[in-house]
Each structure stands twice: as C-alpha cells, then as structure tokens.
Chains A and B, each alone.
Chain A
C-alpha cells in the first residue's frame, strides 16, 4: 500500500503536534509522532517504509510501531488528508 498526502490539505506540522484541515472542514489535531509521519508522507511512501522509519527514529521494533502507524493512516484517510494506492 502506498500513501501520499491529498492535494487539498492545509496543515501545520511541528515537533509533537500536527493540525490538518481541508477548505471546508473542522481541523483535526494529532499529538505525538503524527507530525513525523506527515513529514514522511511528503512523497508517496509504502506502509512498511513508514513503519521502518518510525521504528528507527524511536529505536524500537517495527512490531511495536506498526499498529499505531496503521491506525493513524486510517484516521488520516477517513479525514480526507491522505490518499492510498496499490
């Protein structure tokens, strides 16, 4: 599965905090490592690559990181902030 940012998103991403909106929607806030995931989504990226990058960044295992990353991606997809292909 390849993920990328949707084209109609407004956002601010800073360490520990991410806020996103579309032009008509209520903003969504993500605390924690969401901003790092968002930075990695700057270019289309596979789920596994995201999981691996996050695991490396936090010096932990992919097994520990994967559920949180997948949950976040589903939330971002539901909000219309990302697109998935493949």
Chain B
C-alpha cells in the first residue's frame, strides 16, 4: 500500500492531532505502507520522535503523581494511552499519547484532589458548585508548574451514561505496568476496554486512535468484551459499548462475523440513548452533554442538577 500525494494533507492532520505517528511510522518501517514522498517520511519520523519524547516526560509525571497518591493512601488507576500503550500494544512506541489520565476511587476523590493541590498542582478550571464533581462530574484537569496536564477522572463520562456508573466496580480487579521501577496500577483488560468504548463513543477528540484501541483490546489483547458489556449493562450504558464496537468495526472494516460485533448490533438502542450518543458524537458544548443526564437520574435530583448547570458557563 502506498500513501498517495492527495492523502498527505489529511494524513498529516491525523498524525498531528490524533497522535497516530507511531502507527504509520511502524507500518513504513515494516514496509506495510510505502511513502514515496521523502520529505513527508522525514517529517513523520520527526513527529514520532517528538511524540515519543512527550510520552517519557508524561510517564515521569505519572511516577511522581503515583508517589503522591500512594502516600495519601488513594486508590487509583492509570488509564487510556499510557496504560494501553504498555499493556495492549506489542511495543509502547506504537501508541503515543499526549496527556495523563488517572481514575480515582470514588471514596478517595477528595483525598486525591487535596494531595495534588498540596503539592503545587493547580486546577485551572473552576469546579462546579456543591458536590457536583462527586455526584455527577467526569473529573478535573490539573496542571503542573511546567504546564503538563493530568486528567483526574471521577467517572468515564458526564451525562446520561456517566451518572449511572458505579465506579467502585472497576476497582474490583486490577492489572499493572512498571514505570521507572515502580508498579503502577491499571484497570484489568475488560475495564480498559470499557473505558476505551466510553472514550470512543463519548470522549472529545475521538478520532481513529480511539477506535484502534477498541479493536486492539478485543482482537489482540483478547479483552473479555462480554464482561465489558456486563458492567455496562449494570450502568445502563450498553449503548456506549455497542456503538463504540459498531463504529470501530465499520470504520476499520473489520470482520463483521466477530461475536463482539454481532453482540453489539443485536442490542437495540432506544431513541433516548441514540439522542444522547448523538450529542456527544457531534461535539456539542459541555452543558448539552451534561443535560443528557436528566432522563437517567432520580427525579428529586433534577432541580439541583439543573440549577448547578445553569449557574455554570461553558
């Protein structure tokens, strides 16, 4: 397969903004893709090296944050890019990433925030009033004094498929990676898949890499996708897993006879769920996404939830 001249602009954009350089660089090295444009190939390698450099900087940050959280007796998991790069790809250099994502056990959310703030990490975005974070929020972004970002997750998503989650469940088992000699906790494979599906269906900037993670976890790691569906069913979030798998299989043109795909298309998705998925798919503003939760939460919670959102500006 050869990269055509008229594909260069589109591919360059994806490489830059979806951190796909590792996939294409490895394909070029393995001669799976031919890149006749030498300038483009040199630029690809430069970009890959930059993204690899960023990865080790971010992993150093993970190790420092691990010390903070472990010292504060916070239970947490490394998730998304830094975790799947090591656990689900044959070489972590293939799967680059641009930030650090951690999920904190619900019971330790306040302690985690206190530990980071006390160590000089800042939370640039104002927290929503009251106990929004704890009851409905996705999490908080912190920055280091030198400008690196840590996304601390309380849930996998805001809105309809976030408020119904019971995050304690994904802390019942664990896996780990070793970074700089330190054991770093991660989710088990099926929970990594669950989070990958949430990101592929509901996350921001969810391009091909998010779908590749779903495919990689199911087809290469062998993550128990039935388990991911099972947890999602408990959370009333099966459409999230189903839609991620369906989009993944269709866009990456995978074999539709696979039982995970067959399971995904067999599950009818309600109109309300489809509407909610569409709000995320079309990258609507925060408030629109948050409002998708209304039909999924206890009626008595709705007025306070609405008031909190009304008082918040996007």
Contacts and interface: CB of A to CB of B under 8 A. Distances in A.
Interface of A: 7-17, 19-25, 27, 29
Contact of A13 (B57, B60, B93, B180): B93
B56 A21 contact: yes
B280 interface: no
A24 B64 contact: yes
B180 A23 contact: yes
A22 B180 CA distance: 7
Contacts of A12: 52-53, 55-56, 92-93
Given A12-B93, A15-B29, A29 B49 contact: yes
B148 to A, nearest CB: 13
Given A19-B49, A22-B180, A11 B29 contact: no
B261 interface: no
Main secondary structure of the interface of B (DSSP, over half): helix
Interface in B57-115: 57, 59-60, 63-64, 91-93
Contacts of B48: 14, 17
A24 B53 contact: no
B25 interface: yes
27 contacts: A7-B181, A9-B180, A10-B60, A10-B179, A11-B56, A12-B55, A12-B92, A14-B25, A14-B91, A14-B93, A15-B29, A17-B45, A17-B49, A17-B52, A19-B49, A20-B56, A21-B59, A21-B60, A22-B60, A22-B180, A23-B60, A23-B180, A24-B60, A24-B64, A27-B56, A27-B57, A29-B53
Contacts of B29: 14-15
Interface residues on B, range: 20 to 34
Given A12-B55, A15-B29, A24-B64, 6 more contacts: A7-B181, A8-B181, A10-B60, A10-B180, A27-B56, A27-B57
A21 B181 CA distance: 12
A72 B52 CA distance: 20
Interface in B3-56: 25, 29, 45, 48-49, 52-53, 55-56
A9 B57 CA distance: 11
Contacts of A11: 56
Nearest to B96: A12
Nearest to B181: A7
Nearest to A29: B53
Contacts of A21: 56-57, 59-60
Contacts of A25: 60
Contacts of A20: 56
Contacts of B93: 12-14
A10 B59 contact: yes
